Amino acid sequence: MTVVFDTGSDLSWVQCTPCSDCYEQKDPLFDPARSSTYSAVPCAAPECQGLDSRSCSPDRKCRYEVVYGDQSQTDGALARDTLTLTPSDTLPGFVFGCGERDTGLFGRADGLVGLGREKVSLSSQAASKYGAGFSYCLPSSSSAAGYLSLGGPAPANARFTAMETRRDTPSFYYVGLVGVKVAGRTVRVSPVVFAAAGTVIDSGTVITRLPPRAYAALRSKFARSMGRYGYKRAPALSILDTCYDFTGHTTVRIPSVALVFAGGAAVGLDFSGVLYVAKVAQACLAFAANGDGADVGILGNTQQKTLAVVYDVANNKIGFGANGCS
């Protein structure tokens, strides 16, 4: 099955038959009737009681509903089955959602794998077998290869920062983002600006969102550096307001951009993590400002491209290693 993985949510789910309102997906729908190990989760089960949004069917079986930040949503039956990761590697009794009404921006994926910090996430359910942690690398393009790994050692070049927790949002992985560097120089923004609401690392969000003051300083520094190369400006693209026209350029130079975390880890971003290239005539700085300084910052998946991102849950730290997909 082809699924999206999301560190910003917990429940894993796939579209199931019969489905009253499903989007078109790549593969056939999962049919519970054809699985000898499938079973519905009762309403009284702790897995059901632990869900944020749940209800009971007339026969006292658990129903779930998840609404994501972009208003995509899924709801259906909470179930158990044996999860087959490889032909020889299985996870019996895996709790997941059997989606019956699913709408939103899931592409043609068969469902979603939740990797958040709650007990129902795949990483939590698999921790007793693989260890409390996971890692991944998102490739620079759809034609390149990446990976998702449960457990396993961190790459030798990984640089770590503390994994932070907020009581009001215990499912999220917070990191202490304290600054940004452009062309090797720290952008002048007080770490207090980043600390006000904190920063979540989320594989399910595309574009990194920064506090307004931090984004304004980054944009100004980046634009000044780009101006030295003589590139023409291009129109804004949705929330991306700093765009360039590279028409006629056989090679493109951009200033380096690095994220600085508590403890001193400075993580350099790949070209694909700095610019979102819609077309040659419109390539945009792949960051955006939050609406308010009190909004939580988000480290999105664009900035994570080509990095080995290591979630060492057992030791409460998150690491980043360059050239992680190679």
Note whether residue 144 is domain-resident: no
Note whether residue 205 is domain-resident: yes
Indicate the pLDDT class of residue 224, thresholds 50, 70 and 90: very high
- For the segment 54-67, the average pLDDT, to the nearest whole number, is 96
Note whether residue 140 is domain-resident: no
Residues 213 and 121 in one domain: no
pLDDT at 326 over 90: no
- For the segment 287-302, the average pLDDT, to the nearest whole number, is 96
Indicate the average pLDDT of the chain: 96
pLDDT at 297 over 90: yes
Catalytic residue among 75, 110, 202, 312: 202
Does residue 198 contact residue 191 with C-beta atoms inside 8 Å?
A: no
pLDDT at 289 over 90: yes
Catalytic residue among 6, 75, 102, 270: 6
Q: Map residue 218 onto helix, strand or coil.
A: helix
Q: Map residue 309 onto helix, strand or coil.
A: strand
DSSP 101-133: EEESS-TT-SEEEE-SSSTTSHHHHTHHHH-S-
Residues 124 and 163 in one domain: no
Alpha helices in the chain (DSSP H): 46-49, 122-125, 127-130, 191-195, 212-227, 271-274
10 is known as an active-site residue: no
Domain count, the chain: 2
CATH of the domain at 186: 2.40.70.10
Distance, in Å, from the CA atom of 214 to the CA atom of 217, rounded to the nearest integer, reads 5
Indicate the pLDDT class of residue 69, thresholds 50, 70 and 90: confident
Distance, in Å, from the CA atom of 193 to the CA atom of 319, rounded to the nearest integer, reads 23
Residues 111 and 170 in one domain: no
Nearest to 198 by CA among 221, 170, 219: 170
pLDDT of residue 114: 98
pTM listed for this prediction: 0.94
Q: What is the DSSP letter of 226?
A: H
**Strands 62-67 vs 147-150: parallel, antiparallel or unpaired:** unpaired
Residues 120 and 186 in one domain: no
- For the segment 311-320, the average pLDDT, to the nearest whole number, is 97
What are the tens digits of pLDDT across the range 104-141? Answer: 999 999 999 999 999 999 999 999 999 999 999 999 99
Note whether residue 147 is domain-resident: no
- For the segment 206-233, the average pLDDT, to the nearest whole number, is 97
What are the tens digits of pLDDT across the range 144-157? Answer: 999 999 998 999 99
Distance, in Å, from the CA atom of 267 to the CA atom of 323, rounded to the nearest integer, reads 11
- For the segment 211-225, the average pLDDT, to the nearest whole number, is 98
Note whether residue 153 is domain-resident: no
What are the tens digits of pLDDT across the range 2-37? Answer: 999 999 999 999 999 999 999 999 999 999 999 999
Determine the structural domain holding residue 109 and report its residue range.
3-130
Residues 278 and 210 in one domain: yes
What are the tens digits of pLDDT across the range 159-213? Answer: 999 999 999 999 999 999 999 999 999 999 999 999 999 999 999 999 999 999 9
